[in-house]
């Protein structure tokens, strides 16, 4: 059988708890499939790695990630390693993204099931049918430009961060967005988000997106919107943004978090961060050179260790992993179907098949078993 | 009588329509008050100025604004002067802000009246009681750092924008936020928003805010939150952000737009942009050296000329103008009370006293007259 190596980074807070459920699901997929073998290997990462070996991304972890066929991550960070800490987990994640070239962050936000409409903070009639995929550029912009801390010479007391983008960086992320848009029939619309009325990077963004889509994907409908107005529309009329939201690193950070609470629970949503040529994202044999998969939620230190975290986001991330990095479309779809089934089961006797974030009482482990059962 | 000069910049789109109603209200205040005189003078600004004289901020307009006691603005921009246009309106606004030193942008977002709860896109129980003031730093950060267009040498095809902040810039905006927090009893909480896990500017921001508030305003409770998580919380549980939201230029642009749709209509919300020492914002005799007042909404080209725009945001901006720049607290409160009264009037015979954005059928001019009547 083909052997696939999966580097597993449980991380901090609820990370280990939700990752445990996703690996359980992957093990079941593994034993049910004679024609491939999934080799899961855990590695230290984030705050846990800082506590164990003094750095968030130990060389052995980086190496394992580079050599793996795919990476499954939980979440990192927590009050223990705050902004004032000498060593922090976030630079570990940023280095991992940059070193592996994970430039394409893909975050779907939609209603996994109509039954979840009751959990959206929006009026149901405003939120119904919200269905977007945020495609965020992940290794450029303000995150990776040069910067100067206020404590450094010259000009002590002044800090700066440089936002920088090249045409080539914008082209390749535009192509990923286009491939995702083409994965439905008819193709999704693309909404490219920038702040072109102020920023030079945004003007280059707008021009490059226009040129790339017009030339290479004439069949895709697209528009350009300003980031401030997008943040507004996403609350007042989110369906207007249905389709692919294509944007740069910082705007994508903000807008993908904002979009992720509209379908009611953050805990349900997966994400993928991909490296490699984007020409075949939508086809089943697409294989990025590297792929990191993680739930959208953070490490949620307030509920860590309580066994109540929602593992669905991580389980669906594992499904994305199978589909994108391993080309295993069938088990990926099977997991997604199992999740939908479990979430749609009606609550009985006041004991719904949902975790606390969705008003239920089911624990992390139990929900994991239910997905396995439904598989 | 004391004479106050008010520079009026109607601008583009619905700007002239809504400004007309606000000036109507100001004229009434003027004729009812023998002890002061308001001298209103219109000036060309924005796209209208581009069409008339080829530049968005003609020297005569800038001079009038510098000499005025306060500025009342409508809105600028429109498809006619898009991102690709050679001369655009936005740089005019940015230059005006910078030249006058308008570093403190103040944008309240709250429910002017319980009756408006039916217009929020959020579930009423989620939105009820939402009450924030965004204090946005307005002349620093990415907006005013150096930048390079992609077309410029060297490195054609690469663009950059520099985000830059000094301790002094952060201190002064923090003091404005603190004074606003102190304008209620007990003081409002301050939520300072940054991206300190990535940006050097944000780390300086966090440190300076902490130091300034701890040292100078020990009675104010404050916390620090990340911009991505704030965008999320503002949808899922907006009351958690009640109080003052203190943030830098770009984050403030995004978050203030996002917050402004929660109370149901953008059309209702005013804003102030102030220059000068902040030590007395909350006291009735505060007088910024310069103040520009405008509704939060944009030029809304799609409804321009139809006479259906909501003038309330501009009318309430005029009230802020009276209070902050002219020290005329009484007429300011009178206008606010009149607006509340008009908005609360029950709809009769299917003909509510509300503009189209609030589900009503009343026109811009008529609503203006109703406010005048209620004064
Ligand atoms: C942890 C942090 C550096 C990271 C980011 O800002 O990219 C996170 O917010 C995310 O979106 O994955
Ligand atoms: C017109 C534009 C430059 C401006 C800004 O981004 O500051 C506007 O969005 C605002 O918020 O006043």
pLDDT in tens, A317-327: 999 999 999 98
Q: What is the CATH number of the domain that holds A347?
A: 3.40.718.10
Higher pLDDT, B333 or B266: B333
- The rounded mean pLDDT for chain B is 92
> How far apart are alpha carbons B111 and B269 in whole angstroms?
10
Q: Tell whether B277 is covered by a domain.
A: no
| Cα–Cα distances in angstroms (integers) from residue A28 to residues A25, A284, B144, B171, in the given order | 5, 21, 55, 57
User: pTM (2 decimals)?
Assistant: 0.95
- Tell whether A19 is covered by a domain: yes
Residue that is last in its domain, among A262, A285, A317: A262
pLDDT bucket at A151, cuts 50 / 70 / 90: very high
**pLDDT of A264 strictly over 70:** yes
User: Is residue A325 included in any domain, yes or no?
Assistant: yes
Contact status of B250 with chain A (Cβ, < 8 Å): yes
At B345 the pLDDT is 62
Token reading at A293: 């998969």
Mean pLDDT of B282-289: 61
Q: Which residues pair with B313 in a beta bridge?
A: none
Which amino acid residue places its CA nearest to atom 7 of ligand 1? A253
Together in a domain, A189 and A97: no
B215 and B257 assigned to the same domain: yes
Nearest to B290 by CA among B277, B276, B280, B279: B276
- Where among A194, A229, A262 does a domain terminate? A262
Please check whether residues B231 and B125 belong to one and the same domain.
Answer: yes
Give the pLDDT confidence of A302-350 residue by residue, as tens digits: 999 999 999 999 999 999 999 999 989 899 999 999 998 888 766 544 4
Domain of B83? 1-101+284-375
- Whether the pLDDT of residue A227 is over 70: the answer is yes
Do A62 and A152 share a domain, yes or no?
Answer: no
pLDDT category at A279 given cuts 50, 70, 90 is low
Q: What is the pLDDT of residue A110?
A: 84
Residue B87 is assigned to a structural domain of this protein: yes
Whether residue A160 lies inside any domain: the answer is yes
Task: Reply yes or no on whether the pLDDT at A351 is more than 60.
Answer: no
With an 8 Å Cβ cutoff, is A83 touching chain B?
yes
- Whether B71 and B146 share a structural domain: no
Model confidence at B119: pLDDT above 90: no
The per-residue pLDDT for range A24-53, each reduced to its tens digit, is 999 999 999 999 999 999 999 999 999 999
Whether A32 and A162 map to the same domain: the answer is no
Same domain, A126 and A74: no
pLDDT value for B265: 72
Q: What is the pLDDT, as a whole number, of residue B350?
A: 41
Assigned domain for A116 exists: no
Shared domain for A94 and A174, answered yes or no, is: no
User: What pLDDT score does A74 carry?
Assistant: 97
Rounded to whole angstroms, the Cα distance separating B261 from B250 reads 18
Into how many domains does chain A fold?
A: 2
Based on the domain organization, do B20 and B77 belong to the same domain? yes
Instruction: Give the nearest chain A residue to B90 (CA atoms).
Output: A197
A250 in the same domain as A279: no
Closest-lying ligand 2 atom to the alpha carbon of residue A198: 3
Same structural domain, A145 and A234: yes
**Position A18 in a domain:** yes
Q: Which residues, in sequence order, are CB contacts of B180 under 8 Å at separation 6+?
A: B106, B133, B135, B188, B244, B281, B282
**Residue whose CA is at the smallest distance from ligand 1 atom 5:** A253
Query: Whose atoms come closest to the Cα of A90: which ligand?
Result: 1
Q: For residue A275, what are the CA distances in angstroms to A66, A344, B24?
A: 11, 34, 59
Higher pLDDT, B190 or A348: B190
CA–centroid distance, residue A253 to ligand 1 (Å): 7
Same domain, A200 and A325: no
A113 lies in a domain?
A: no
Q: Which atom of ligand 1 is nearest to the CA of A253?
A: 11
User: Helices A200-216 and A167-181 sit at what angle, rounded to 10 degrees?
Assistant: 50
């Amino acid at each position: 059988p083909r052997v696939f190596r999966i580097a597993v980074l449980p991380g901090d807070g609820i990370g280990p708890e939700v990752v445990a459920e996703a690996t359980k699901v992957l093990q079941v997929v593994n034993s049910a499939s004679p024609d491939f073998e999934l080799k899961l290997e855990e590695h230290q990462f984030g705050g846990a790695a800082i506590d164990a070996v003094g750095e968030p991304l130990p060389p052995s972890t980086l190496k394992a990630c580079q050599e793996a066929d795919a990476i499954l991550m939980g979440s990192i960070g927590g009050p223990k390693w705050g902004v004032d800490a000498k060593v922090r987990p976030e630079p570990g994640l940023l280095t991992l993204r940059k070193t592996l070239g994970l430039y394409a962050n893909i975050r779907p936000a939609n209603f996994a099931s109509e039954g979840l409409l009751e959990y959206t903070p929006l009026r149901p009639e405003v939120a119904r049918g919200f269905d977007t995929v945020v495609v965020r550029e992940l290794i450029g912009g303000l995150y990776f430009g040069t910067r100067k801390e206020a404590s450094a010479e010259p000009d002590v007391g002044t800090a700066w961060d440089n936002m920088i983008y090249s045409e080539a960086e914008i082209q390749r992320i535009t192509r990923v967005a286009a491939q995702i848009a083409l994965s439905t029939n008819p193709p999704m619309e693309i909404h490219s988000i920038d702040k072109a009325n102020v920023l030079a990077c945004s003007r280059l963004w707008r021009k490059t997106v226009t040129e790339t889509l017009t030339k290479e994907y004439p069949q895709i409908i697209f528009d350009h919107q300003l980031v401030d107005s997008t943040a507004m529309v996403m609350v007042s009329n989110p369906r207007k943004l249905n389709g692919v939201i294509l944007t740069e690193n910082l705007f994508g950070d903000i807008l993908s978090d904002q979009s992720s609470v509209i379908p009611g629970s953050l805990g349900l949503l997966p994400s993928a961060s991909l490296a490699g040529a984007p020409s075949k994202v939508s086809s089943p044999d697409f294989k990025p050179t590297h792929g990191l998969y993680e739930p959208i939620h953070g490490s949620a230190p307030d509920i860590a260790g309580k066994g109540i975290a929602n593992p669905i986001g991580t389980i669906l991330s594992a499904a994305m992993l199978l589909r994108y990095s391993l080309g295993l479309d069938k088990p990926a779809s099977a997991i997604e179907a199992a999740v939908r089934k479990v979430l749609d089961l009606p609550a009985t006797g006041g004991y719904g098949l949902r975790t606390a974030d969705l008003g239920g009482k089911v624990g992390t482990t139990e929900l994991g078993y239910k997905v396995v059962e439904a598989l």
